[in-house]
């Protein structure tokens, strides 16, 4: 078991290294530099700044320096935020992204499964069509459109919710971004749940359960829900990916200081270290989580260890 775990950890290192090198080369290949401006700098000053950030060194040397820093857990200084290191910025941004993303996921599961189940039980009725119609709309309209429409309706016209983020605003400020981010996922999950639930409800064991005299609520809760959830569980991976990418747009529109906003700003300003840092951070996170799952598989199923 230990051997298996160690092998998996060692196996993850080349993957991560590849991500780092590719990302490093890509950000440096983009034209323009972090300190370019219409207000061009005197050459001496420019040289001083470049030297301060080691940008005057050849690229391979910069890469080695970067990896050397990484080994010590140092993602380097941000070029755009000259008072902050990338470590600090990720420390500031990630909790926001995590909060918004996790809340959106929770909301999507709750509402999506609920709506899908109801639609399945009332299959073919007006209610079913309304739910499915809305979910079709939810899937088709991108976050880029949903966000401004929701802001216009719920914030500007009706004044129910704030139009954007505020540090001191509290929970109300989470609602619009979370709803926006959750909407497409609610739609997908509702459709998946409905289809899967209809399938499960027609199985023999459900008929047996009804024959035992159980009510619909009990049958659904105790017998149908679990098997019906399998496709939804399989969809979790893509859903998390969609929420990660969607959060970039949502953070920008609502002005939330999460990693998505730093990522866009970093890319546009050629903040090499910030962009790289976020890529490395997410890559490490996903590789680590996969590693944990793989190791857990090994624990649960001995056959996997000898694969």
Partner 1 sequence: MSSLRYLPLLVLLSFATLSGCTDRSALTANTLQRAIPTDPETLDPHKARTTQAADILRDISEGLVGYSPDGELVPAAATSWDLSDDGLTYIFHLREGAKWSNGDPVVAAHFVAAVERLIDPETAAFYAEFLSDVSSIEATDDLTLVLTLGRPTPYLLSLLTHPATFPIHTLSLAEHGDGFARPGKFVSNGAYVLDAWVPGSVVSLRRNEHYWNNAATSIDKVNYHVLVEDSSELNRYRTGELQITSTVPPDNFAQVQAELADELHVATYLGVYYYGFNLSRPPFKDNPELRQALSMAIDRERLTTKVTGRGEAPAYSWVPPGANNYEPPALSYSGMTQAERNRVARNLYKAAGYGEDNPLQIELRYNTSDTQRRVAVAIQSMWKEALGVETTLVNEEFQVLLANIRQGDITQVFRSSWIGDYDDAHAFLKILESDNPANSPGYESEEFDSLMQRAATQTDLDSRRLYLEEAERVMLADHPAMPIYFYVSKHLVSPEIEGWGDNVLDYHYSQHLRFKAAQ
Q: Which residues are within 8 A (CB) of 183 and not within 5 positions of it... i.e. 6 or more apart?
A: 138, 143, 146
If the CB atoms of residues 24 and 79 are measured against partner 1, the closer one turns out to be 79
With tokens 């078991």, the residue in question is 1
Q: Interface with partner 1 includes 11 (CB under 8 A)?
A: no
Among 2, 14, 39, 213, binds partner 1 (CB under 8 A): 39
If the CB atoms of residues 227 and 257 are measured against partner 1, the closer one turns out to be 257
3-state secondary structure of 171: coil
Taking the C-alpha atoms of residue 57 and residue 20, their distance in angstroms, rounded to an integer, is: 18
Among 20, 146, 151, 209, binds partner 1 (CB under 8 A): 151
Q: Which of residues 253-272 bind partner 1 (CB under 8 A)?
A: 253-258, 261-262, 265, 268-270
Burial 137-173 (b: 16+ CB within 10 A, else e): ebbeeebeebbeebbeebeeeeeebbbebeeeeeeeb
Q: Which of residues 94-133 bind partner 1 (CB under 8 A)?
A: 95, 98-99, 101-103, 105-106
Among 25, 144, 230, 299, binds partner 1 (CB under 8 A): 230
Among 23, 75, 80, 86, binds partner 1 (CB under 8 A): 80
Among 82, 203, 207, 221, binds partner 1 (CB under 8 A): 82
With tokens 């790289």, the residue in question is 276
If the CB atoms of residues 114 and 148 are measured against partner 1, the closer one turns out to be 148
Q: Which residues are within 8 A (CB) of 25 and not within 5 positions of it... i.e. 6 or more apart?
A: 59
Q: Interface with partner 1 includes 200 (CB under 8 A)?
A: no
If the CB atoms of residues 127 and 291 are measured against partner 1, the closer one turns out to be 291
What is the maximum span of the chain, computed from C-alpha positions, in angstroms? 87
Q: Interface with partner 1 includes 81 (CB under 8 A)?
A: yes
Q: Which of residues 158-197 bind partner 1 (CB under 8 A)?
A: 159, 162-171, 174
Which is nearest to 244 in space by CA: 274, 283, 276, 277? 283
Which is nearest to 165 in space by CA: 250, 238, 228? 250
Quick one: which segment of 16-24, 48-56, 185-193, 211-219 binds partner 1 (CB under 8 A)?
A: 48-56
3-state secondary structure of 301: coil
Q: Which of residues 52-71 bind partner 1 (CB under 8 A)?
A: 52
3-state secondary structure of 77: strand
If the CB atoms of residues 180 and 269 are measured against partner 1, the closer one turns out to be 269
Encoding tokens for residue 42?
Answer: 């005197």
Among 71, 233, 306, 307, binds partner 1 (CB under 8 A): 233
Q: Interface with partner 1 includes 234 (CB under 8 A)?
A: yes
* Total interface residues for partner 1 by CB under 8 A: 79
If the CB atoms of residues 3 and 39 are measured against partner 1, the closer one turns out to be 39
Encoding tokens for residue 295?
Answer: 């190791």
């Amino acid at each position: 078991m230990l051997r298996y775990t160690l092998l998996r950890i060692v196996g993850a290192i080349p993957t991560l290294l590849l991500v780092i090198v590719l990302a490093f080369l890509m950000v440096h290949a983009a034209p323009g530099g972090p300190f370019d401006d219409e207000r061009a700098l005197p050459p001496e000053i420019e040289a001083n700044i470049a030297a301060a950030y080691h940008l005057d060194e050849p690229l391979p040397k910069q890469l080695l320096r970067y990896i050397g820093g990484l080994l010590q857990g140092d993602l380097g200084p941000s070029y755009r935020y000259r008072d902050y290191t990338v470590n600090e910025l990720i420390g500031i941004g990630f909790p926001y992204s995590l909060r918004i993303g996790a809340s959106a996921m929770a909301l999507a599961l709750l509402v999506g499964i609920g709506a899908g189940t109801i639609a399945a039980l009332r299959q073919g009725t007006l209610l079913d069509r309304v739910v499915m119609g809305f979910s079709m709309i939810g899937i088709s309209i991108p976050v880029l459109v949903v966000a401004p429409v929701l802001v216009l309706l719920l914030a500007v016209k009706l004044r129910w919710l704030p139009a954007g983020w505020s540090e001191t605003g509290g929970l109300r400020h989470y609602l619009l971004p979370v709803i926006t981010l959750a909407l497409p996922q609610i739609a997908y999950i509702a459709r998946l749940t409905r289809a899967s639930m209809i399938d499960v409800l027609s199985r023999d064991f459900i008929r047996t359960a009804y024959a035992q005299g159980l009510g619909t609520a009990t049958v659904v809760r105790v017998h149908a829900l679990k098997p019906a959830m399998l496709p939804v569980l399989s969809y979790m991976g893509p859903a998390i990916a969609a929420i990660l990418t969607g959060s970039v747009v949502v953070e920008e529109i609502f002005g939330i200081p999460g990693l998505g906003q730093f990522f866009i700003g970093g890319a546009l300003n050629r903040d090499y270290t910030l962009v790289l840092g976020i890529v490395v951070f997410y890559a490490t996170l996903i590789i680590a989580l996969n590693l944990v799952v793989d190791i857990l598989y090994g624990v649960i199923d001995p056959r996997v260890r000898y694969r």
